[in-house]
Amino acid sequence: MQRQTRRTVYYLALVFVTTLLLTGVYNAGMASWENRPQPLYRSLEVVIQSFTTTGYGEDAPWQTPQMNVLAVVMQFTGIGLILTAVDVFAVPWIRDALTPSAPEVAPELENHIIICEHTPRTDAFIGELDARDRNYVLVESDPETARDLYERGYRLIEGDAETTETLANAHLESAMCVVIDGADDRSASIALAVRDARPDVRVITLVEDADLAQYHSAAGVDDVLSPRQLLGERLAEHLPTAVTTEIDEGVTIGEDFELVELTVSEDSDLAHSTFAEAALRERFGVNVIGAWFDNDFKTPVDLDDKLQPGTRLLVTGEPDQIESLREITASAVRDFTAQRIVLAGYGDSGRAVYDGLSGSGSRLTVLDIEQQEQVDIVGDARDPAVLEEAGIRDADALVLTVADDTTAVFTTLIARELNPDLRIIVRASEEDDVEKLYQAGADYVQSLATVSGRMLASTVFEDEEVLTYETQVNVVRLPAGGLEGTTLAEEDVRTTTGCTIVAVIRNGKTITEFDPVKFTFEAGDEVVITGTDEAITQFEQQFRP
């Protein structure tokens, strides 16, 4: 039931109940206090007269104080119901009259992307499309949501994507592909409708439940993506275990060239030194792309910036160079004993974390709101007693993959208070909540929306390979485009965009060593760039051909 319909039903129910109640009280009062018994229908008439301010007929004036007080109460009740009626009926009518409705037919487009249903995940994908200046049409079935998104500047139409008419209004016949992100059962139904209307178009879906991917494939979906599962795997990689360290696997850019994130530990030789003192380029041959300071990414770094414990470095280099730096940034004495890990939330992401830690030697306690196989503790993760039962005080790490971000924030606050030394890894559903979770005390947070958006971008745009889904810094492979015929020094890419070009792909060969002044970009070159989402957007806007 839509919100406006619910409000109308509730209001009419309020009027009905209030009228019956006051009719009964008034009828009893006339008999007991005024000694003037009368039929109920006469009392009902007086109550309605009072509500509508049309008068009281022969019953006024009343002789007893009780009846006069009751009359005043009826008058104020009538005023309240009238004002409420204005809010329920008049205000929405005026708003609808003044607010433009979302269109039902998209303008003529070609080679565009149709997105069925709006979610935070598709919102991140739309951000990727806007950055690439790619045309899209968002199909939204809820009228209020469609109107709100239309007012905010989204390119959308209102309609049911399961119908042939709506798909035609979105110009399915000329679309590049269709991306579907609704409830899993509805997504499969939309995919069938799309296949029926145009069998040759590419269809991509996102699934909440990875077990349902087979049904999407049976419905004719070309690519079924499960970002929750991927994100769970990446969260597991951020846990120190008996077989892994906190250091992520690098992104392989060329055969002998990697981009990797390294964390400076407390007992590292680099701890508390400045970048000038550390001389990472001179000592190890690596290039420092940037660093995270208190969860803020900075690129480029200043020579007087300090490498405090917990600082995360994003560097490029050859495998042996990376390994040398890896050894000095990691703890001098690594604890390879079995880690005690609490996993809160056993959905798709939680299961992926569990599978990633299986065989690692970790002592894993699984906490979930519902009883399931592999769940050790059933309860609300926000409850301190439940966390105590899960062994949070003695745990080395907590992984949060709970259903909503509000629960994650409260759980993080409580867990940090119970165990100040705990390492807390969190999956956020929405990008806007990432900073809140860091402020609450999380050590590492990744947004499901961001991962989903990048997965979709990588799947849709084969010529723009997104090399990482899960990191907070984007690594993207793009055509050199507007850089053709220029040098890095001439364009000053890093200063103007905040991006770093870490490699150039020319004729299938990866070039990682090039002179910024002498190396000239040629037609057909591709570049591997790294930077924040904002920096990548700036690069694409500035250098896209």
Q: How many structural domains does the chain have?
A: 4
**Do 140 and 221 belong to one domain?**
yes
Would residue 275 count as lying in a domain?
yes
**Do 90 and 128 belong to one domain?**
no
What does the block give as tokens for 16? 């009905």
The pLDDT value given to residue 401? 92
Would residue 457 count as lying in a domain?
no
Identify the band that residue 264 occupies on the pLDDT scale cut at 50, 70 and 90. confident
**Do 66 and 149 belong to one domain?**
no
| Contact by Cβ (8 Å): 106, 169 | yes
Identify the band that residue 335 occupies on the pLDDT scale cut at 50, 70 and 90. very low
CATH of the domain at 310: 3.30.70.1450
φ, ψ for residue 100, nearest 5 deg: -70, 135
CA 131 to CA 126: how far, in whole Å?
8
Cα separations in angstroms, 60 against 18, 36, 435:
21, 12, 65
The pLDDT value given to residue 194? 94
Between 330 and 185, the higher pLDDT residue: 185
Would residue 344 count as lying in a domain?
no
> Minimum mean pLDDT among 93-102, 295-304, 344-353, 426-435: which range?
93-102
- CB burial class (10 A; 0-12, 13-18, 19+) of residue 107? exposed
For the segment 380-406, the average pLDDT, to the nearest whole number, is 93
Cβ neighbours around 258 below 10 Å, total: 21
Identify the band that residue 56 occupies on the pLDDT scale cut at 50, 70 and 90. low
**Do 173 and 69 belong to one domain?**
no
Would residue 36 count as lying in a domain?
yes
Would residue 351 count as lying in a domain?
no
**Do 207 and 121 belong to one domain?**
yes
Cβ neighbours around 2 below 10 Å, total: 10
CA 246 to CA 545: how far, in whole Å?
40
Q: Which of 415, 352, 354, 357 is nearest to 382 (CA)?
A: 415
The pLDDT value given to residue 250? 47
CA 158 to CA 139: how far, in whole Å?
6
Between 423 and 59, the higher pLDDT residue: 423
Residue ending a domain, among 163, 195, 225, is 225
Would residue 520 count as lying in a domain?
yes
| Contact by Cβ (8 Å): 487, 534 | no
| Contact by Cβ (8 Å): 356, 230 | no
The pLDDT value given to residue 486? 87
What sign has the CA pseudo-torsion 385, 391, 395, 400? negative
Cα separations in angstroms, 321 against 84, 282, 292:
71, 11, 21
Would residue 521 count as lying in a domain?
yes
Which of 19-28, 221-230, 360-369 has maximum average pLDDT? 19-28
Query: What pTM was estimated for this model as a whole?
Result: 0.59
**Do 218 and 319 belong to one domain?**
no
φ, ψ for residue 280, nearest 5 deg: -65, -40
Domain membership of residue 73 as a residue range: 3-98
Longest Cα separation, the chain: 107
For 92-149, the pLDDT digits (tens) are 776 666 666 788 898 988 899 999 999 888 888 888 788 777 899 999 998 888 888 9
The pLDDT value given to residue 331? 43
Q: Is the pLDDT of residue 514 over 50?
A: yes
CATH of the domain at 145: 3.40.50.720
Residue ending a domain, among 74, 98, 122, is 98
Q: Is the pLDDT of residue 178 over 90?
A: yes
Identify the band that residue 195 occupies on the pLDDT scale cut at 50, 70 and 90. very high
**Do 91 and 118 belong to one domain?**
no
| Contact by Cβ (8 Å): 248, 261 | yes
**Do 51 and 145 belong to one domain?**
no
Q: Is 105 helix (H, G, I), strand (E, B) or coil?
A: coil
Q: Is the pLDDT of residue 466 over 60?
A: no
In this structure, which amino acid lies at residue 235?
Answer: L
Please spell the DSSP secondary structure of 364-426, one letter per residue.
EEEEESS--TT--EES-TT-HHHHHHTTGGG-SEEEE--SSHHHHHHHHHHHHHH-TT-EEEE
Q: Is the pLDDT of residue 244 over 50?
A: no
Residue ending a domain, among 98, 126, 160, is 98
- CB burial class (10 A; 0-12, 13-18, 19+) of residue 314? buried
In percent, the amount of the chain with pLDDT more than 70 equals: 88
Q: What is the DSSP letter of 89?
A: I
**Do 164 and 217 belong to one domain?**
yes
Q: Is the pLDDT of residue 10 over 70?
A: yes
First to last CA, the chain: 48
Q: Is the pLDDT of residue 266 over 60?
A: yes
Would residue 461 count as lying in a domain?
no
**Do 83 and 121 belong to one domain?**
no
Strand order in the sheet with 500-506: 474-479, 526-531, 500-506, 509-511
CA 324 to CA 321: how far, in whole Å?
5
